[in-house]
Structure 1
Amino acid sequence: MYTITFKFEQKGLEPVTLENIAPGDSLLEIALDHNIELHHNCGAVCACSTCHLYVEKGEEFFPEITDREEDFIDRAINPRLNSRLGCQCMLEKGSGEVVVTLPDQTQFLGE
């Protein structure tokens, strides 16, 4: 089981820590299941960059980034070395601690 902390760049939002999260779901699915807003314009099929996030800790618990995912991250606002797409970060079997930061999603409102 995993402990996942969602941090937010958007001002006024406090971090949310979720415990006892089972493997098998993506960070996008986990966020949405716990009422954490994470945009997902393409429906979670790795065809846009709106579920872009930063993995601060626990990268080893996800599959390696694919060329396709990297291409979409290049189109994201403010990509970093630890950028991933939430729809592609499926928790693998095991347990551990994951910390992610969600970019300020108000910057996407014009898209």
Structure 2
Amino acid sequence: MKAVNITFKFQDGQPDQTHVAAEGESVLDVALNNDIQLQHNCGGVCGCSTCHVYILQGENDLPEISDKEEDFIDRAVDPRINSRLGCQCVMQGNADIVVLIPPQNFLGH
């Protein structure tokens, strides 16, 4: 697998950041490893909705959404068709990913 770039965009106006992700790393892993604030109340085990993100590009190179993940996304703030949980977006393909991180000023579920 080639190196995959994840570009993080932020709804709160921060400048975009692009980081390299290794196979098996999640969007949440890459965010935390690069000091990007992304809540993760359950510790990244698909047990809450706080690492909710929007996938703007590269969704076809991510694992298919599970029923459990979909249930938690329904509890997220402002879920959309391209909503995913960062902890479940594990790098497995060769396409670069673009992620929009919603504001992180909430208490989460």
TM-score range, shorter chain: over 0.9
The Cα RMSD (Å) is 1.4
- Corresponding residue number in structure 2 for 1:95: 94
Residue type of the alignment partner of 1:15? D
Q: How many angstroms does 1:109 deviate by?
A: 4.3
**What are the superposed Cα offsets for residues 15-71 of structure 1, whole Å, 9 maximum, x if unpaired?**
10114x221111000110111110000111111000000000000121100000000
In the alignment, structure 1 residue 33 sits paired with structure 2 residue 9: no
Q: TM-score scaled by structure 2?
A: 0.92
Question: What TM-score, normalized to structure 1?
Answer: 0.90
Percent of pairs with identical residues: 54
Point out the more displaced range, 94-103 or 51-60.
94-103
In the alignment, which residue of structure 2 is the partner of 1:52?
52
Structure 2 gap segments, 5+ residues each: none
* SS of aligned partner of 1:96: coil
Equivalent residue letter for 2:91: L
**Counterpart AA for 2:95:** G
Unpaired runs of 5+ residues, structure 1, are none
Q: Which amino acid aligns with 1:39?
A: Q
How many pairs were matched up?
Answer: 107
